Structures are given as C-alpha cells and as structure tokens.
Amino acid sequence: MKRRWPLQRLKRLLIGLVVLGALGFLAVLGYAFWPTHTRAIAAPASAADAALIERGRYLALAGDCTACHTAPGGKPFAGGLALASPIGAIYSTNITPDRRTGIGGYSLDQFDRALRHGIRADGASLYPAMPFPSYARLTDEDVRALYAYFLHGVVPVAQADRSPDIPWPLSMRWPLALWRKTFAPSPDAVAFDPKRYPDERVARGAYLVQGAGHCGSCHTPRALTLQERALDESGAQYLAGNQIIDGWNAINLRGNPADGLGRWSEQDIVETLRTGRNPHAAVVGSPMADVTVHSMQHLADADLHAIAAYLKTLPPVPGAGPGFAANDATAKALQAGINDSRGAELYVDNCAGCHRTDAKGYSRVFPAIAGNPTVLAREPDSLVRLILGGSSMPATVAAPSALGMPGFGWRLGDAEVAALASYLRSQWGNQAPPVASGLVARIRAEMPGENHASEEAAHAR
Amino acid sequence: MPDDPSFTSRRRFLQWSAVAVPALAAAGAPASGQAPSADDRPTFFSASEWAFLRAAAARLIPADALGPGALEAGVPEFIDRQMATPWAEGRLWYMQGPFVPDAPPTLGWQMRLTPRDVYRLGIAAADGWTQDRHGRVFAELDPAAQDGVLQAFESGKARFEQVPAAIFFAMLLGNVREGFFSDPVHGGNRGLAGWKLIGFPGARADFMDWVERDVAYPLPPVSLSGQRG
C-alpha cells in the first residue's frame, strides 16, 4: 500500500525547497560579491627611483610577464594575446603605463590587488590565467619594484583591451570571485619566510620558483577545480609534473631519479635554464623553450644556482613510478647488428644516427635517451609529439644554435610510433610503461589544428 | 695502393657482398612481389611506348639468380615519373644553339630534343626499325632477339631518322640504372632490390658503429620512406 502525500504538504515542501535554494544562491552571491579587503602597502619614497625600476625590470623577466602580455608581433606588454579556454578565448591585458588603455592610472595598491590578489581596479576578479596565487608570495618591496618598472620603465602603448570571446552567461565574473576566495592564498598568509629553508641560497631559489617564476603554474598537477595541488614544498605534489601544456608534458622537477631531476646536478639545471640544454638532456617543446628564451636565460648566475639548489631539495614523489638503472645490454645488441623487435628496427633506422645505439647521443647536441625524464615521464605525450613533429632547442645568448629534431610523423604510422616510443621507454635501463597507438592517433589528430592561441594558453595556466 | 687498409677492407666488403647479396636478395625476393601500381597506367607513355619500355627494361637489367630485374623493381614507373620532371622538358639545360653534334661530351647536350622528345621519337623509331627487320615490334620479340636489337641501338648500327639510336639507347640505359638504384620513394628500386643487389645500406644516416671493426655490415637497406629491404 502506497501512502499518498497530502497535496498541502507537497506544496509546502516545494515552496520550502525553492526558498532554501534561493537563500543558498543569495548566500553564494553574497560571498562572491563581498569585497575583499587588502592591506594597503606603503609607497616608496620615489617610484621613479632608477634602482627600484631596474629591480622591477629584473623581476618582470623572472616572472616572464611578456609571455602572456606581449602578443606575437605586438608591442611589449600591450596585451592582446589570445589564451584559449574551453569556453572561449580570453585576451591578455595592456599593462603598459598608458593612462587610458593600460595601467597608467593604477595606484600602487590597485596594482598590488591585481598582482597578488587577482582583483581588477573595478573590483572584478581576474581569470586565474594570471598566476596571482603564485605572485601572492612576492614581498611588498618587490611589488613596489614591479609597479615602478611598469609605470616608469615601460613605454606606454595605447591599445584597448579586448573582451573575452566567452559568451554570456559564462562570461559573468562573479564565479571567478568564488574560485579566488576559495583557492587563492592571501599574500599575508603565505608571506615568504626565508627561515623555513636551510640557507639563504635555497631560500632565494624557493622565492623565485614559487613566486615570480610561478613554475608550478605548469609543473604542479592541478585539481579538478583547477587550483594547483600545492603552492610550495609543503605538498608532495608540488612541481610533480605530468601536466600537458600545449600538448607538451611539463616534466616532474622533483628528485625522482627517472622521470624527475634526481640524477641531474645543480649545474645541469643551471645550464638548462641558461642555454636550453645540458650534457645529457635538452628543453623539449615550445612552452619551456619560450620560458628559457624570454625569461630564465636572462637571470643572474646566482639566481639560477639558487633555483637549482632549491629544486634539488625537493624529494621524489612517493610511490612507484618510472625507473632507470643504466644497462648496456640494448647497446651491445644493437652494436652487434641484432634488431630483434620492430622497435629496435625503427630505432636503428630513424634515431640511432644522432642519438647513437648507446642512446647517449652527443653531449649538448643530441640529447641522451637513456635516463631522460622527457622519455621516461609518466605521461608520454612529449615523447610522442616529439617523434611525430620534432622540436627545436631554444636559441639562447649563451648557446645560439637552435638545434632541431625533424618530425617522423610523415614516415611512421601510429603503431610504429607506439612501438618505437615503447622501445625507448624500456631499453638501456629505462623503465616506463609502454605507449598505446591510440594515444599516438589522438596526438597526431591534435597536431594539424594547433594554433598560436591554444599554444599560448598554457603559459597562463 | 693495395697496402692501403681502406682499399683492402673495401675489397673485402665487395667480396663479401658478392656472397651475401644474392643470399639477401633471395631472402627478400618473396617480400618484393608487391602489386605494380602504375605499371598499367603510365601518365606520359602511350600503351605501345609502355610495352617497349617494359620490355627494354627487362632486358637491360634482367631478373636472374641475383634477384629481381628492372621490370620487377618498378623501373618503367620511375621513368614515367621522370617524364614529369623539369629535366624531361630540358628545363635544366641550355637548350639554344649552336648545336654541335660532334662536340666533346664535356660541352653538354647538343640536341634540340628534350628527353621527352628523345623517348617519344626514339621509341617510335626503335619499334619501326624492329618491325622492318623482324616483322614485329620490340616487345613481341623473344629475349635473345631483343638483346640483338638493343646491341644494334647501342652501337649505332641501327639508323634512326630523328634521334641517333646510340643517344636514345644511352639515355634509356642511364634512366634504367637510375630507376634501379635510386630511392624507392621515386617509384623504382621496389623492395630495395637494387640496393640489396649491391649491398648499399640506404638512408640510415650514420654508420659509426661499424667503422674500423672489419666486419660485414649486417643490416638490410632502408628507404627514405622508412621501408626496410
């Protein structure tokens, strides 16, 4: 026997639900629109002070502001670069000191609110394409320096910002405030404390990596809600990599010996950031090549060493992962003319000319495959993309040769690329799971449609 | 010269290949039996020209105990594709007068005819000459008779009206060789038959593992397309 609900009672229940829903929505709206209070910071004696401007210029380099705020072929810092998102492109803004279209009218505190808090001068929230959760670590002094640089060291450009392509109602900004208030740290809560680190050098490195450098924007895994799973070494996933940026895998920067930097020396890291290559590995893929060219190569030696020293303090990601235990069996077989798998044949016919049968390549010219984090990464996207389309090392001041690898997608089928990649990940002591030809097919299908907008999007992410 | 170690090792390499290459060719022969793609549909040659070209190629490099010949290796298709290149239209050469037929070869091409013309006129003359002598066109003769005809072309004993038989023959032989030994991406050298025959390793870019080891290079040839022989 079913008990029938009296009509009156049902009606009351429905009204109750609607009222509750409305109240809940109002509460969420209230939370979103409740103004964020930010601490005012004292202005420097003179914002036009040359030393302060120079310090700001250097920080802007370390932060690679130009990566997003300068469009290809555009004027420096005038914005307009499209950053793709699944719901439509957004465009970076003009941060030149033009009073009408740029940030010339910003006060120091308004600048600070944008930079460290993610709040526009009109109170709306910025898209987190702007890495304000990382910049929250910047000291007051460095915020002042950046302000001085952008107001007095940058040429004003009159170029109006372009509104996002995102259609209404997705274009409403108040949900961004919810994200910001939930996930972005308050600068005062994460104020940088050098005493947490063993020495000044490591502390300087930590400050650059976590703050201006915002390395975690690409190299730290993100949660479903898109916040980085850790903003400093207190989280075991900090800089643990395997984030796909413009199709390229941002590698694990922690101490894992195979897919991380565990077997890299401090000098290896410094050379990579300065020249795009080191004796056994190289920068692979356009995102990090851009970071090397526009940002890292210009930093002071002491700072690059500090960054490397800090990265070397990060322990491996716990748990089983790719491994490496140098083993010359593969090299010996290949050098005896034994090609006993399709992978071995493909390696000898396509790769060994440069990377050698010992997979050690030629120092600083052709990277080693044995023990290379790009080859051994948990997510093999970079390896597959590299085989299909090739890549070039960045041309840097210290190493101007943009040595390149051609793509082999025109002569290798999906199954062949998968066999080859699986071979690379399982020989010479490399121990990483095989690659499926379905992944190769998916990446190949992505490649022709690539455009600059989607490539640049990840810089901001 | 015989004391030069590179000379001896090269000679040893040649000796080795004399033994190994037929073995490799025999091993690879079944794999090279791919369906001829353009054999039936040339783009430049007419049906009768095509029949001549196929028959002549089959005699210039015949299939034998050493492996497939020019016909099996797709050489006619290579030459048909060659006819679509700027070379075949004479666009790579100085093609204005004076034309001095008895000029030394170092002075280059001395005819008004482009390679396309040489083939078009040459094949017609060749089949005409064969018809006169044997009552049949070249492709319909038995192999021994075909060899005799080709020898008459090569020596110049056969007289053609518009293009000297020897020049026609020399171009044909040169193109057959090119088709047999150039990379399979150009249509000939199918199954890498030509490279297997002479032990050429193909487009593998680097042989550092094998220098100064005094052992035979053991790997089969590879094409620019990635195909292994």
Interface of B with A (CB under 8 A): 204-206, 208-209, 217-219, 222, 224-226, 228
Confidence of residue A270 (pLDDT cuts 50, 70, 90): very high
Instruction: Tell me the backbone φ, ψ of residue A350, rounded to 5 degrees.
Output: -115, -30
Which residue type is seen at A224?
Answer: L
- With beta carbons less than 8 A apart as the criterion, state whether A357 and A334 touch: yes
Task: DSSP letter for A43, please.
Answer: P
Q: What pLDDT shows up at residue B185?
A: 95
pLDDT band at A7 (very low <50, low <70, confident <90, very high): confident
**Angle at the Cα of A288 from the Cα atoms of A283 and A291, rounded to 5 degrees:** 125
Residue of A295 and A456 predicted with greater confidence: A295
Q: Cβ A349–B222 below 8 Å, yes or no?
A: yes
Burial class of residue A329 (count of CB atoms within 10 Å of its CB; 0-12, 13-18, 19+): exposed
B219, A352: Cβ pair inside 8 Å?
Answer: no
C-alpha pair distances (Å), A228 with each of A184, A221, A385: 10, 6, 25
Angle between helix B115-134 and helix B143-155 axes, rounded to 10 deg: 120
Among A348, A350, A354, the residue with its CB nearest the CB of B219 is: A348
CA distance A271 to chain B (A): 28
- Per the DSSP assignment, residues forming a β-bridge with A83 are A90
Which residues from A are below 8 Å from B224, CB to CB? Answer: 411
The shortest CB-CB distance from B226 to any of A335, A339, A350 is to A350
Q: Exposure string (b/e) for A230-240, b if CB count within 10 Å is 16 or more?
A: bbbbeeebbbb
The answer to whether A125 and A184 have CB atoms below 8 angstroms apart is no
Q: How many angstroms separate the CA atoms of B123 and B125, rounded?
A: 5
- Residue contact A412–B226, C-beta within 8 A: yes
The residue to which tokens 């500090």 are assigned: A306
Contact assignment for A349 to B225 by CB distance below 8 Å: no
Is 90 exceeded by the pLDDT of residue A86?
Answer: no
Give B114's pLDDT tier (boundaries 50, 70, 90).
very high
Chain B residues with CB-CB distance to A348 below 8 A: 204, 219
pLDDT, one tens digit per residue, over A40-58 is 898 877 767 999 999 999 9
What does the pLDDT read at residue A45?
75
Q: What angle, rounded to 10 degrees, do the helices at A286-294 and A266-275 form? A: 90
Angle at CA B181, nearest 5°, toward B177 and B187? 95
Region A235-262 average pLDDT: 96
Query: In the prediction, which pLDDT does A448 show?
Result: 76
Q: Is A382 helix (H, G, I), strand (E, B) or coil?
A: helix
What confidence tens digit (pLDDT) does each residue in A402-412 have?
999 999 999 99
Picking from A429, A412, A276, the residue whose alpha carbon sits closest to that of residue A351 is A412
Share of chain A above pLDDT 90, in %: 87
How high is the pLDDT of residue B35?
A: 42
Question: Global pTM?
Answer: 0.84
Cβ within 8 Å, pair A357-B209: yes
Question: Distance between CA A427 and CA A330 in Å, rounded?
Answer: 6
Of A127-141, A258-272, A294-308, B206-220, which range is least confident? B206-220
pLDDT of residue A4: 66
pLDDT tens for B171-211 read 999 999 999 999 999 999 999 999 999 999 998 988 989 99
- Could you tell me the pLDDT band of residue B105, with boundaries at 50, 70 and 90? confident
Mean pLDDT over A308-326 rounds to 96
Burial call A108-117: b when 16+ CB within 10 Å, e when fewer: bbbbbbbbbb
Domain ranges for chain B, please list them: 5-210
The pLDDT value given to residue A101: 96
Cβ pair A339:B205 closer than 8 A: no
Task: Assign residue A289 a region (left: φ > 0; alpha: ψ between -120 and 50; beta: otherwise).
Answer: alpha
Q: Quick check: A356 and B228 CB within 8 A?
A: no
For A337, the closest chain B residue by CA position comes to B218
**Residue A236 in tokens:** 């075991």
Total beta-carbon pairs less than 8 A apart between chain A and chain B:
31
Mean pLDDT (whole number) for A369-376: 98
Q: How much is the average pLDDT of A272-283?
A: 97
pLDDT over threshold 60, residue A79 = yes
Residues of chain A with Cβ-Cβ distance to B218 below 8 Å are 337
Q: What is the mean pLDDT of chain A?
A: 93
Residue B4 clears pLDDT 50, i.e. is over it: no
Which pLDDT does position A375 carry in this prediction?
Answer: 98
Tell me the β-bridge partners of A391.
A405
Give which of A328, A345, A349, A408 to mutate to test B binding, by max B Cβ within 10 Å: A349
pLDDT digits (tens, 9 = 90+) for B10-56: 444 444 444 444 443 343 333 333 444 545 689 999 999 999 999 99
Give me the pLDDT at residue A3, please: 62
Work out the percent of chain A whose per-residue pLDDT is above 70.
96
Cβ of A354 within 8 Å of Cβ of B226? The answer is no
- Name every residue whose Cβ is closer than 8 Å to that of residue A225 and which is 6 or more positions away in sequence: A179, A182, A183
Mean pLDDT within A371-394: 97
What is the band of B96 on the pLDDT scale with cuts at 50, 70, 90? very high
A349 vs B: CB within 8 A: yes
Closest CA to B216 of B74, B4, B18: B18
Per-residue pLDDT, A2: 56
pLDDT digits (tens, 9 = 90+) for A335-345: 999 999 999 99
CA distance B74 to B185: 11
* Cα separation of the two ends of chain A: 58
What interface predicted TM-score (ipTM) does this complex get? 0.75
Peptide bond before residue B164 is cis, with ω within 30 degrees of 0:
no
Residue in B206, B218, B224 closest to A337 by CB: B218
